[in-house]
Amino acid sequence: MHSIKTVAVLLFWAFGLSALAASHPGNYNSNSLNGLLSDSIQLTEKDIGDFTAIAFGDRTAATTSQQEQQRCRVFPGDGLWPPTEEWTRLNNSLDGVLLRPTPAGAVCYPEHPAYDAARCQFLLQDARSTRFWLDDPLTELAQWTQGGTCLATNQTQAQEKNCTRGGFPEYVVNATTAKHVQVAVNFARNKGIRLVIKNTGHDFGGRSVGAGSLSIWLHHMKETQYLPSFSIGNYTGMAARFGTGIEAWEVSNFMAEHGGITIVAPGGNTVGGVGGWVGGGGHSVVTSTLGLGADQVLSLGVVTADGRYVTADPFTNTDLFFALCGGGGGLSANHPFSPFEATYGIIVSAVYKAHSPITLTSTSLSLTLSSASIPSVPTTGAVVVRTADAFWTGVGLYYRFCGRIIEGGGGQGFSYIYPQADGGFRFTTTSTFLNRSRDEVSQIMEPLYTSLRHAGVLTTADANPATRNSSIYGASRRSGTGDQPVNTRYRSRLLPRANWEGDTRWDATMAAIRAATEAGYDEDFYFHATLTSPTREVAGWPGADNAVNPAWRENLMHAMLMDVQPDNWTGQQARNRDARMQRYMSLLRDVSPGAGAYINEADPGEPEWQQAFFGSNYPRLLEVKRAWDPWQLFWAPTTVGSEGWEVEAVDGYPNSQNGRLCRSAKR
């Protein structure tokens, strides 16, 4: 066991972990309640003029250009790749926001023109505590997805590996208006170039990166608007309109600035508060009471594959709204909504429900399985357990108990099980409750501690650990630093509440969790589980009928095997690991037949991903995809309709985006 603990901390900042005050960057603060300034600046025929490369498309016409007929997307070096003058003209149509960035790590490679030893030291030592990686146009936090090329690394390694562009895009549009997005969409479609959409670049599956592409970078679309009284359909109440580049910490600060109101936001501080998080469903500490991110959406501003800006809501472009909100859910023909991948369109702004202030109260438990003579320190909740059976009994008692208490509209269980250097494991968890006092939380948890004592996991002297003070969710200030590229690969399963019913099924579930996690000792991966219950009931209107994966509605535990791989592995090493991980994952799949996985925190190599990520919504979503994007312009791995194309990766890493995007030979 080496460095995986620190990596875990970097990857998953539990809500509230860092509470440094920070200023709120770059708002336009539009006074109009009708929309954001960034949405109002749109592409016109006058802007297009005689530059046909940025002309709108017609999704009802069957014509295809020479570029669109190619086997592969047009790639740098191809005869059809636009000449420099055409990129310059594109840049002019984009008000000069077209970038051709150098990969950040190039400063570490002596052969590279950008080489700069001091700058390299900064990347290696200090960049993580700044916004550097988050404000970089190319960076993808899961670095294997771009082929692990041009990593920031010290000279010893840099001499062994050259800095190449790898899976990073060729050009980036630093969008701040709907018009920028529209121009880029039209250009990529008309020129047959691969298009990628990047917001924060947090995606674990390589869905915001791609070799030879034009990237639309939505990061700077951060306008916000508070809507004290917003009405649509069955909803009347507070709401907020966000530009699509807003990050979770900025959503938190927005809540604080508006009296501590509640808006469902990701736990990770720098995860997009709209973007891919809401498109894939989007879980949060308050999800068991207020629903998923996708359940908050009331209206969207969208740029579609033909380059048009449209509104999608429960009454307008309802099929698009269905498909853009979560990717799974109710199938009735009258029902809008789904997760928001750039499969059907690019979201440029979103109106979310805002709720009354709520308090969160949390309590932690930690169990360490160790043969070494570490003293037990019960007052901090850190308990040392001496036998593996007692340890796993304790973990199982917690998971079963926690699953049941959140089901009734509680908060969240957030847990890890890490292998330890001495052959043991360490379990940590934080259980968080909404609108409950400290005393109430202690009372809620007491039966768990009683059963842990009866099972001999705790001694009779071990008290129910102190519950932390309550805090108002929307009053917490958060800061937006602390993330850097890592080499994590998720493998995950949404375990349904049916697994909590009856001892036989539960025992089989815990046996699978134990066996999969114990394999992580030799393999160097760890277990992570969030427990939430985003039922259709808590989703309410209009969320209950959106396209969120139906497996989410049945879910109690989102179980993850966190596979942190060395960044110098060969493709063959990665493929071998992949085959072994599939075996551990099958333990979890076998105890949850018919369930699924959460696309945003899953393996892009998930077998039968259509069923796992979208469930019964898949056929309907495919229809929406075909209607709105007949060009298959919006392509990313494991998104709806992506089967027809595949990346011919040059590095041999499973599911890497480092290669040409071509029509799949299988079809």
Ligand X SMILES: *[C@@H]1O[C@H](CO)[C@@H](O)[C@H](O)[C@H]1NC(C)=O
Q: Which residues bind ligand X (CB under 6 A)?
A: 91, 96, 98-100, 137, 154, 156-157, 160-162, 174, 176, 220, 234, 289, 356, 358, 434-435, 469, 541, 566, 568, 570
For residue 378, the tally of other CB atoms under 10 A from its CB is: 16
Please tell me the distance from the alpha carbon of residue 414 to that of residue 429, in angstroms, as a whole number: 5
For the residues of 93-119, what is the DSSP string, one character each?
HTTT-EE-PPPGGGGG-TTSTT--HHH
Binding partner of 541, given ligand X, ligand FAD, none, CB within 5-8 angstroms per partner class: ligand X
Nearest approach, Cβ of residue 192 and ligand X (Å): 20
Count of alpha carbons within 13 angstroms of residue 483, beta-carbon side = 28
Nearest approach, Cβ of residue 160 and ligand FAD (Å): 28
Please tell me the distance from the alpha carbon of residue 365 to that of residue 442, in angstroms, as a whole number: 12
Binding partner of 393, given ligand X, ligand FAD, none, CB within 5-8 angstroms per partner class: none
Indicate the residue among 7 and 99 with the shorter CB distance to ligand X.
99
Binding partner of 362, given ligand FAD, ligand X, none, CB within 5-8 angstroms per partner class: none
Binding partner of 187, given ligand X, ligand FAD, none, CB within 5-8 angstroms per partner class: none
Please tell me the distance from the alpha carbon of residue 541 to that of residue 232, in angstroms, as a whole number: 10
Nearest approach, Cβ of residue 610 and ligand X (Å): 29
Nearest approach, Cβ of residue 185 and ligand FAD (Å): 11
Nearest approach, Cβ of residue 252 and ligand X (Å): 17
Binding partner of 533, given ligand FAD, ligand X, none, CB within 5-8 angstroms per partner class: none
Indicate the residue among 117 and 372 with the shorter CB distance to ligand X.
117
Whose CA is closest to 343, among 364, 324, 321? 324
Asked whether the beta carbons of 224 and 254 are under 8 A apart, the reply is yes
Q: What beta strand segments (E) does 159-276 contain?
A: 171-174, 194-198, 213-217, 224-232, 235-243
Whose CA is closest to 167, among 640, 638, 636? 636
Nearest approach, Cβ of residue 196 and ligand FAD (Å): 6
Residue nearest to ligand X (CB): 96
Nearest approach, Cβ of residue 106 and ligand X (Å): 13
Please tell me the distance from the alpha carbon of residue 648 to that of residue 658, in angstroms, as a whole number: 8
Cis ω before 566 (30° cut-off from 0): no
Indicate the residue among 245 and 424 with the shorter CB distance to ligand X.
245
Indicate the residue among 434 and 633 with the shorter CB distance to ligand X.
434
Q: What beta strand segments (E) does 271-374 contain?
A: 297-303, 309-312, 346-353, 359-369
For the residues of 5-30, what is the DSSP string, one character each?
HHHHHHH---TTS-------------
Binding partner of 202, given ligand FAD, ligand X, none, CB within 5-8 angstroms per partner class: ligand FAD
Burial class (CB in 10 A: 0-12, 13-18, 19+), 667: exposed
Please tell me the distance from the alpha carbon of residue 204 to that of residue 531, in angstroms, as a whole number: 20
Nearest approach, Cβ of residue 356 and ligand X (Å): 4
**3 state DSSP class of 228:** strand
488 to each of 309, 523, 609, how far by Cα in Å? 36, 13, 19
Indicate the residue among 137 and 396 with the shorter CB distance to ligand FAD.
137
Burial class (CB in 10 A: 0-12, 13-18, 19+), 258: middle
Asked whether the beta carbons of 279 and 326 are under 8 A apart, the reply is yes
Q: What is the 3-state secondary structure (H, E, C) of 484-500?
A: CCECEEEEEEEEEHHHH
Indicate the residue among 358 and 417 with the shorter CB distance to ligand X.
358
* Strand-strand pairing, 488-496 and 555-564: antiparallel
Binding partner of 283, given ligand FAD, ligand X, none, CB within 5-8 angstroms per partner class: ligand FAD
Binding partner of 601, given ligand X, ligand FAD, none, CB within 5-8 angstroms per partner class: ligand FAD
Task: Give contact residues for ligand FAD (rule: CB under 6 A).
Answer: 11-12, 141, 197-204, 207-208, 218, 244, 266-268, 271-272, 274-277, 279-280, 282-283, 340-342, 346-347, 483, 600-601, 636
Nearest approach, Cβ of residue 360 and ligand X (Å): 10
Binding partner of 340, given ligand FAD, ligand X, none, CB within 5-8 angstroms per partner class: ligand FAD
Binding partner of 459, given ligand FAD, ligand X, none, CB within 5-8 angstroms per partner class: none
Nearest approach, Cβ of residue 204 and ligand FAD (Å): 6
Binding partner of 220, given ligand X, ligand FAD, none, CB within 5-8 angstroms per partner class: ligand X
At 552, the amino acid letter reads W
Nearest approach, Cβ of residue 268 and ligand FAD (Å): 2
Nearest approach, Cβ of residue 209 and ligand FAD (Å): 8
Cis ω before 542 (30° cut-off from 0): yes
Indicate the residue among 434 and 649 with the shorter CB distance to ligand X.
434
**3 state DSSP class of 272:** strand
Binding partner of 179, given ligand X, ligand FAD, none, CB within 5-8 angstroms per partner class: none
